[in-house]
A and B are shown apart, each in its own frame.
Chain A
């Protein structure tokens, strides 16, 4: 290995030349010539490892790019905190328990209680509506539909995921509002004795409308993730169930659903993460009322993200800080939800490489 391959040509000349190389290694008077290019001969050694080469440079560059993700997440936390703290210090009410939002006054008063409540309530209702339907579609695509139908339908579901949220918001406000309002009035007439359907109106731009629009938006995410998980059920398990005489539904209940359970839980939590952070669709459909109320059909409702979009325009320095503080809370909530979802996915190794 120590021999320079380019020397091998000289070897033909005879004895003395060969001994030169020998004596050089022993004497050490002549420094070994550094190898710059690739080795010339076929039987040559590997290029000597340089202190700085393209290899280390490229490796460092890609490692830096990978580390960038961590840097960005930490930077988000640091910069949000640095802008939120002055506003929180100027706040004259308790940030966590106060309900309304007046950060632009001479005596700033703002609190996140009603906003956080609205965020969680709309997201939970959206998931309650979306998850059963999404699981149904996922099962349909993976086990019921003929392949000729399943492929284009899956494509359509993916397209649904690509439609921008502002379009859903606009549709919810201009089109979907009317059926939801009729439905709310109907609910109020016949089920008004249930507290969540009570109230005297006006109805329509309510938590119900916002949640239903949200449900349509999280539907494709939950569907496509669950479908992937369902499709990975080992065919042997399914065939064994069928061979034991199970009906199709029994086969699904005993093999597909237990196998896919962690994946489905993770999909639901990812959907929850998306619903919690949804901004524009809720800003356009909710009634913007700072109240903690379980009434889902009366005009009202608000969320952290929608409030940021709605009040950013007239915010002064403290107002911006207050909005950033509320964004920090949202960031923390979604971070926890997403990390929990990913931890579930990671525990099942077979899902890790597929469920994006």
Chain B
């Protein structure tokens, strides 16, 4: 009789014990219910908190109880696995809560002033006791500033990415690449201060009889500084995804490198590049700090981005948030809703475009 056929004494190979033992769902739920009851008894009995504390204590008790029960049934390693799984799931729930609250507040408080008047009037001659007033001037400002910034940042950014991918070799290219990455982390307020020091205080007096002048164009300069690294980075990634044989095919036909880049590489990567640009535009549209420093924040409609102070939607939200009028919060929330809708539409459109991109990995 071989060793294999011999059954060890006391260990029968039944379907029950051939698999690892699992903690049953009933026990799991039982532990949860017990934890909630115990926590409610402790917290409400001692009077040290409300239902939020009950939930927190219950969650802690549940983890302890689950660990105890699971280590009895499944062993300590499996119990630890369960605890970490529970913690990771609860981290997810915890992060959803503030997002849900932000969305709910935006919608519930934002609809109060969501009317035609809000989108067709400015804050010109609106006193503290006037319930009306709108964000027409701010929307104009946002569109013009972001548009100008896009016009400046896109050619610069795409060309910079072309340099990094197609031409750049050696130390200098590595340095440029490193500082593009570093530049993505420059705080927006520093970009604002830079344009304040450079454009508003030093350059703009030349055009304005010696007095510094705030303008929408200054804001778009600051936004350009912020958009540039993002555009370079995303364009670079897309250009790197263009297959090498496409370029080699063009070279083999005798096409010069610049024409290969413009006619073959760029069109292939175009959907991805546009996605990156739209994400950069969405971020720039939401920037408050640079606009606050250099655009001046006028209350009246100013269509000319080069002449005199302008406002922007994000700045409008900030100004209304700091306004003492009792009608200001409603205006702030409606403007915030408008801004978020604008930004999210851009972002979602960009992501959908990215999904149709055939180059993406």
Task: Enumerate chain A interface residues (CB-CB to B < 8 A).
Answer: 38-39, 46, 53-55, 57-59, 61-70, 72-73, 75-76, 79-80, 82-83, 132-133, 135-137, 139-140, 144, 153, 155-160, 162-171, 173-176, 186, 190, 216, 219, 223, 247-250, 252, 270, 273-274, 276-280, 283-284, 305, 308-309, 312, 320, 323-324, 327, 330-331, 334-335, 337-339, 341-342, 345-346, 353, 356
Contacts and interface: CB of A to CB of B under 8 A. Distances in A.
Nearest to B164: A66
B340 A164 contact: yes
A144 B87 CA distance: 12
Determine chain A's interface SS by DSSP, over half rule: helix
B206 to A, nearest CB: 15
B167 A62 contact: yes
Contacts of B101: 171, 175-176
3 pairs of A and B residues whose beta carbons are closest in the complex = A277-B187, A164-B286, A136-B91
A168 B102 contact: yes
Interface in B232-286: 232-234, 237, 240, 254, 256-259, 261, 279, 282-283, 285-286
B193 A163 contact: no
A342 B53 CA distance: 41
Interface string B137-176: 0000000000000000001110110111011100001011
Given A55-B257, A166-B314, A342-B181, A171 B88 contact: no
Interface of B: 48-49, 53, 77-78, 80-81, 84-85, 87-92, 94-96, 98-99, 101-102, 105-106, 109, 155-157, 159-160, 162-164, 166-168, 173, 175-176, 178-191, 193-194, 196-198, 201-202, 225, 228-229, 232-234, 237, 240, 254, 256-259, 261, 279, 282-283, 285-289, 292-293, 314, 317-318, 321, 329, 332-333, 336, 339-340, 343-344, 347-348, 351
A250 B77 contact: yes
30 contacts: A63-B168, A66-B160, A68-B156, A69-B160, A69-B180, A69-B228, A73-B179, A75-B198, A76-B191, A79-B198, A133-B91, A137-B88, A140-B89, A155-B351, A156-B96, A158-B347, A158-B351, A162-B343, A164-B287, A164-B340, A164-B343, A170-B321, A171-B102, A171-B105, A247-B80, A273-B185, A312-B292, A324-B196, A327-B193, A330-B190
Contacts of A337: 185
B344 A162 contact: yes
B219 to A, nearest CB: 14
A75 B176 CA distance: 15
Given A166-B288, A249-B85, A330-B190, 17 more contacts: A54-B258, A54-B259, A66-B159, A68-B228, A69-B180, A162-B283, A164-B288, A166-B317, A166-B318, A166-B321, A223-B95, A249-B80, A305-B289, A309-B292, A334-B190, A338-B184, A342-B182
A16 B340 CA distance: 80
A66 B289 CA distance: 26
B99 A156 contact: yes
A171 B144 CA distance: 27
Contacts of B188: 277, 279
B87 to A, nearest CB: 6
A66 B343 contact: no
A93 B101 CA distance: 45
Contacts of A283: 318
Contacts of B84: 249, 252
B265 to A, nearest CB: 12
Contacts of A169: 318, 321
A248 B196 CA distance: 54
A167 B185 contact: no
Contacts of A312: 292-293
A144 B220 CA distance: 43
A345 to B, nearest CB: 8
A65 B98 contact: no
Contacts of B232: 69
B266 to A, nearest CB: 12
Contacts of B90: 136
B102 A353 contact: no
A80 B181 contact: no
Contacts of A62: 159-160, 162-163, 166-167
A346 B193 CA distance: 30
Given A62-B159, A167-B317, A280-B289, A38 B254 contact: yes
Contacts of B194: 75-76, 79-80
A320 B196 contact: yes
B197 A82 contact: yes
A83 B197 contact: yes
A58 B49 CA distance: 69
Interface centre among B81, B85, B185 (most CB of A within 10 A): B185
Contact of B95 (A65, A166, A219): A219
Interface centre among A55, A249, A324 (most CB of B within 10 A): A249
Interface centre among B105, B190, B329, B344 (most CB of A within 10 A): B190
Contacts of A248: 81, 85
B187 A331 contact: yes
A69 B317 contact: no
Contact of B189 (A38, A75, A139, A308): A308
A69 B351 contact: no
Nearest to A275: B187
Contact of A276 (B187, B191, B254): B187
Nearest to B292: A309
Contacts of B318: 166, 169, 280, 283-284, 309
A238 to B, nearest CB: 15
Contacts of B160: 62, 65-66, 68-69
A144 to B, nearest CB: 6
Contacts of B321: 166, 169-170, 173, 284
Nearest to A272: B185
A190 B85 CA distance: 31
Contacts of A284: 318, 321
A157 B347 CA distance: 12
B186 A274 contact: no
A347 B236 CA distance: 19
A41 B214 CA distance: 60
Contacts of A223: 95
B341 to A, nearest CB: 11
